[in-house]
Amino acid sequence: MERSAVFHRPDQNYSFILDESTLGIRIRTKKDDVERIELIHGDPYIWKDDKWVFEKIDMTLNATDALFDYWETTITPPHRRIRYGFELHAKGETLLYTEKGFYEEVLYDCQYYFCFPYLHASELFNAPDWVKDTRWYQIFPERFANANSSINPNNTIPWGAAEPAQNNFFGGDFEGVIEHLDYLVDLGINGIYFTPIFKSPSNHKYDTIDYFEIDPQFGTKEDLKRLVKECHDRGIKIMLDAVFNHSGYYFAPFQDVLEKGQDSEYANWFYPHSFPLHGGEQPNYETFAFVASMPKLNTQNPQVKKYLLDVSAYWINEFDIDGWRLDVANEVDHQFWREFRTVVREQKPDIYILGEVWHDSMPWLLGDQFDAVMNYPFTTNVLHLLASQTITAKEFMNDMTTVIQSYPKNVMDVTFNLVGSHDTPRILTECQEDVSRVKLIYTLLYTFMGSPCMYYGDEIGMTGGKDPGCRKCMEWNPERQDSDLLDHVKKLMSLRQSEKLLANEGHFQFLNQEQSEIVAYRKYHHDQNVLVIINPTNVEQTFRIPHVLKGNVIKNLWTH
């Protein structure tokens, strides 16, 4: 047995609370190295004749990737406390694996074993229930629809009359969104994520001037109220974008520091290195990236904290929004996000908190901060398989398994899956405009675990390179929309709506077959299965219905 490959630690993705009384326990071993694993478990305080009393249950080989096998089980400790270890069985060898290492026989002193000391309901990762049934649509409001020309910003260009640039404006507004809500309902979405709408000089609005005001180019606060109501009437949730890592250059407190230097009462709202402040290529204050117009906010300062938490509560209480997406969330301190969660949950218990974190996000997904992150690792793997076509089906399943296994199961159920955004080239462009590959990508997106998001216009085959290319005006002329692709997307959304197993009601499992170049997985609950089979190659492939499904009646959900 390869002992150095065995890994477990009683937290994060290896021990996690699934509900008030259930713990999920996982262990990884070297691929194909261990034949069977039993979980040895008991209450730390139950002993008999000076020996710890324990039981054994079999673990399930749940998933496998390039290097590892992942074993899992759930357990309901009667007194919410558990000590546990693993009995690993391989050919000719049985080992006990505990917190203190490996032993050749079972130990009867629970002090050697791993400990999950207490299941506290308050430590459950509890994203709102509605999220797993949500099909998101991301709107970049400057570019979705211009319905009220009276509030156009200066120098507004006629809709679609130019390529998007860093600094041009087409006048998209709230009225434009309201006018097209029926289009969105018909498409099948039931959640909208808006990139920022607060007062800001740019077209993307990631450089906020005033967190308590709507940018006038989008409309008024009354318009936003109407927009939210119209959405809620149609069963659509609304998520806004909170840019709390940094402010804009024209944010009043930053202007005050620019003017007064260290005498400004706002000097500690930012991270100045010296005074007076200057921008340029190397600003003498901390910024987002090296962008002088985006000074980093000091979220460790109690005044800043109070200001931003007031903002967070205000838009929930006054406008009834349903979610906050948090920009550059990984560069803000964890304690700020913990307090943020407490405050916004107090306003609305089922609010959704989505962080922008592109990399491994476990530290934010422990139940005390975010409900989900933007799952760019999902994006990357999908692009490798179907856009750049640099990995095989088997590699895709391995790589995706690595991502899935790096989080608790209940975290993956609500992860925010996307295949493009305002920060990436559009998916059709990534696929060299091969629509058939985009269709496969959507099939994957809408049948996978997590909460899928469509970037505006991708459903009708819009193209565009990286920012600003991906921020073209929405194409409303039906003749220039790809109706075939649109129908494909509608069908997928409708299927996800009618088949609850596709909206994360059950479990997920890749069906990885030797020699096969097929990506296949099932979502299942008891004896109900939904089977998804994707052929990412250009040639016909054979897929054998796996043994686990034999004897079942099979219905083709796609063609029936």
Q: What burial class does residue 127 get, using C-beta atoms within 10 Å of its C-beta: 0-12 exposed, 13-18 middle, 19+ buried?
A: buried
Q: Locate all alpha helices (DSSP H) within 416-479, ordered by sequence.
A: 427-430, 435-447
Q: How far is the CB of 272 from a copy of itself (least distance, A)?
A: 14
Site membership for a copy of itself, residue 57 (CB under 8 A): no
Choice among 223, 327, 371, 430 that is catalytic: 327
Contacts of 338 (CB under 8 A, 6+ apart): 368, 369
Q: How far is the CB of 43 from a copy of itself (least distance, A)?
A: 9
d(CA 166, CA 152): 17
Site membership for a copy of itself, residue 10 (CB under 8 A): yes
- Determine which residue in the list 123, 259, 346, 487 makes contact with a copy of itself, applying CB under 8 A: 123
- Determine which residue in the list 114, 285, 352, 456 makes contact with a copy of itself, applying CB under 8 A: 114
Compute φ and ψ for 198, nearest 5 degrees: -85, 165
User: What string of DSSP letters covers 94-147?
Assistant: EEEEETTEEESS--S-GGGSEEE----GGGS----GGGGG--EEEE-GGGT---
Nearer CB in complex with a copy of itself: 132/305: 305
Q: Binding pattern to a copy of itself, positions 69-108, x when CB under 8 A?
A: ----------xxx-----------------xxx-------
Looking at residues 320 to 349 of the shown chain, list those that interact with a copy of itself (rule: CB under 8 A). Answer: 330-335, 338
Nearer CB in complex with a copy of itself: 115/557: 115
Q: Kindly indicate which of the ranges 87-95, 141-149, 347-355, 360-368 contains the residues binding a copy of itself, using the contact rule CB under 8 A.
A: 360-368
Looking at residues 255 to 314 of the shown chain, list those that interact with a copy of itself (rule: CB under 8 A). Answer: 286, 289-290, 300
Site membership for a copy of itself, residue 399 (CB under 8 A): yes
> 51 near 57, Cβ under 8 Å?
no
What's the length of the chain?
560
- Determine which residue in the list 55, 222, 310, 360 makes contact with a copy of itself, applying CB under 8 A: 360
Nearer CB in complex with a copy of itself: 67/252: 67
Beta strand pairing call for 198-199 and 136-139: unpaired
Q: What burial class does residue 396 get, using C-beta atoms within 10 Å of its C-beta: 0-12 exposed, 13-18 middle, 19+ buried?
A: buried
Give bridge partners of residue 28 from the DSSP assignment: 7, 70
Site membership for a copy of itself, residue 53 (CB under 8 A): no
Q: Kindly indicate which of the ranges 7-15, 144-152, 452-460, 481-489 contains the residues binding a copy of itself, using the contact rule CB under 8 A.
A: 7-15
Site membership for a copy of itself, residue 11 (CB under 8 A): yes
Site membership for a copy of itself, residue 31 (CB under 8 A): yes
Site membership for a copy of itself, residue 120 (CB under 8 A): yes
Choice among 38, 72, 356, 458 that is catalytic: 356
Based on the residue annotation, tell me whether 327 is a catalytic residue of this protein.
yes
Amino acid 542 reads T
Nearer CB in complex with a copy of itself: 2/310: 2
Interface with a copy of itself (CB under 8 A), residue total 52
| Closest C-alpha to 192, from 454, 539, 484 | 454
> 37 near 84, Cβ under 8 Å?
no
- Determine which residue in the list 14, 16, 54, 68 makes contact with a copy of itself, applying CB under 8 A: 68
| Closest C-alpha to 341, from 327, 328, 351, 331 | 351
- Determine which residue in the list 402, 463, 494, 528 makes contact with a copy of itself, applying CB under 8 A: 402
Based on the residue annotation, tell me whether 356 is a catalytic residue of this protein.
yes
> 326 near 341, Cβ under 8 Å?
no
- Determine which residue in the list 4, 150, 155, 559 makes contact with a copy of itself, applying CB under 8 A: 4
Beta strand pairing call for 136-139 and 451-455: parallel
Q: How far is the CB of 64 from a copy of itself (least distance, A)?
A: 12
Compute φ and ψ for 522, nearest 5 degrees: -125, 150
Q: For the chain, first and last CA: distance in Å? A: 49
Site membership for a copy of itself, residue 19 (CB under 8 A): no
> 437 near 431, Cβ under 8 Å?
yes
Helix (H) / strand (E) element for 295: namely none
Site membership for a copy of itself, residue 423 (CB under 8 A): no
Residues involved in catalysis: 327, 356
Contact residues toward a copy of itself (CB under 8 A) are 2-5, 7, 9-11, 30-31, 45, 66-68, 79-81, 99-101, 111, 114-115, 117-118, 120-123, 286, 289-290, 300, 330-335, 338, 357-360, 362-363, 368, 376-377, 380, 399, 402
